[in-house]
Every structure is written in C-alpha cells, then in structure tokens.
Amino acid sequence: MDAHARKLGLVIFDCDGVLVDSEPLSLACLTAGLNRIGVAIDFETVRARFTGTSMVSIMEHIARDYGVTAPPGFVEAVKAETLALFDTELTAMRGVAAAVEALGLPACVASSSDPVRLRHSLSLTGLLPLFGERVFSSAQVARGKPFPDLFLFAAARMGAAPEACLVIEDSVPGVTAARSAGMRVAGFTGGGHWGHDPAGADLLRAGAGRIFSDFSDLAGVIAGA
C-alpha cells in the first residue's frame, strides 16, 4: 500500500462499549429478558456471544440454538428496559470527549444499536454534539456486524476510502466487520464488560492491530495506525 493510501482520513467509533459504558447495563437487561422467556443463559454467555451484535441477529441466534422464539413485543420491552436503565446509570467513557475533540481528523459513529437508542445514549452522555449527524446505525444497512456493510456505509457517507479509515471497536463482531471492510482497527478494552480480558486477546485474534484501555492513549493509537 502506498503512502497516500496509508494516510488516515477518518476515525469511526463504535458507540456501546467504546464511547459509552453501556454494555454491562444492556447485557444485564438482555440476560434478564431472555431468562424470562425460558432461555437458560447467564450473563457471561450473553457477553461472550452477543456483545456488539444487533438485536435482529441475537434473536435469530436464540431461535436457532435455543429453540425459543421470542413472544410479540419482547424486543421492544427489552429495549425500553435498557433505555430506562440508561437514564439513571449510563456514563460516557472516561476522557472520551476530550480525546474526540482533540482528534484533528474527521470522525463518525457506526453502531449496531438502533437509531433511537444510539442517539439517546449519545445525548444522555453529552457526546452527540461532537458528532452531529455523523451517526450511523446498523438499521441503515442490510447486514449488521460481523458483516462489513455498516462500516462501508459510514465511510461512503463520510467520503473516505476504506483503507483510509481507523475503526475503534470493543467487540469481536465489530473487529471482524472492520477487517472485512478493509479498514484498520484498534481494540478498546476500557469498558466495564472487559474485566475478563483487559489485554484484549479476543480482539487481537479477530484482527485488531492494537489494544488500548484509556482514551488518553488515543492520540498514540492514531499516530501508530
């Protein structure tokens, strides 16, 4: 790849588990909801299998592997419970606002969350003004992560070539999607759901080029991308 192609032109942030520390909250709501409809699954299994995955993909997995079809209104109920919990407990990742403000590069958000939850999360934590309309959801593409569609869509909307993009991700499906899109990836393990593996071994195996856990290190991550 020539020097021009290697030049970084866009930073794409996942939202949940990267910009906001939402995964412990949303995974807990999902686990409780699945238990209510007869799915014998614990929090750790939900975290390992579903972090970074859209609700559509999650429910397909549950029907296929557990033989449980969610009753009408289940997804909407879990989403409502999650948003209610966010209202009282959701926080931005430490130092993320200052790090984004200091980027000196175009930036956007590309998340598996539905548009309502995504903008609600960014608004609650005061991060939405940093991105404005540069917020993209898996609801806008045919296939969510681990497929590359969302990241390619975000790059196209931002006018950036895939090879000029760096994605900041906290999940294996997200890293896989970014790599499939031909983008560079840094794995973030500063969220509350990464206590099991702060070194990010799973993310490295999936193709992340570097792991970091504090946004004070973002400038160095970008410089080395």
How confident is the model over 126-138, as pLDDT tens digits? Answer: 999 999 999 999 9
- pLDDT band for position 5 (50/70/90)? very low
Residue 118: give its domain's CATH number: 3.40.50.1000
Burial code of 143-166, b = ≥16 C-beta within 10 A, e = fewer?
A: ebbbbbbbbbbbbeebebebbbbb
Number of domains in the chain: 2
Last residue of a domain, one of 47, 68, 89: 89
Cβ–Cβ < 8 Å for 188, 17: yes
Which residue range forms the structural domain that includes residue 81? 23-89
Q: Are residues 133 and 209 in the same domain?
A: yes
Q: Are residues 40 and 77 in the same domain?
A: yes
Residue 69: give its domain's CATH number: 1.10.150.240
Q: Are residues 28 and 132 in the same domain?
A: no
Q: Are residues 75 and 14 in the same domain?
A: no
- pLDDT band for position 3 (50/70/90)? very low
Average pLDDT over residues 196-216: 91
- pLDDT band for position 176 (50/70/90)? very high
Last residue of a domain, one of 70, 89, 108: 89
Q: Are residues 179 and 217 in the same domain?
A: yes
What one-character DSSP code corresponds to residue 70?
P
Q: What is the dihedral of CA 20, 26, 27, 28, to 10 degrees?
A: 120
- Per-residue pLDDT for 169 more than 90? yes
Q: Are residues 56 and 160 in the same domain?
A: no
Q: Which helix (H) or strand (E) holds 75?
A: helix 74-89
Average pLDDT over residues 49-66: 90
Q: How far is CA 201 from CA 48, 104, 126, 188, in A?
A: 13, 29, 31, 11
pTM of the model: 0.87
pLDDT score at 4: 40
The 3-state DSSP class for residue 202 equals helix
Q: Are residues 11 and 59 in the same domain?
A: no
Last residue of a domain, one of 89, 112, 134: 89
Q: Report the sign of the C-alpha dihedral through residues 111, 201, 211, 123, in that order.
A: positive
pLDDT tens profile 95-138: 999 999 999 999 999 999 889 889 999 999 999 999 999 999 99
Listed in sequence order, the residues at least 6 apart from 222 whose beta carbon sits closer than 8 Å to its beta carbon are 8, 11, 103, 105, 166
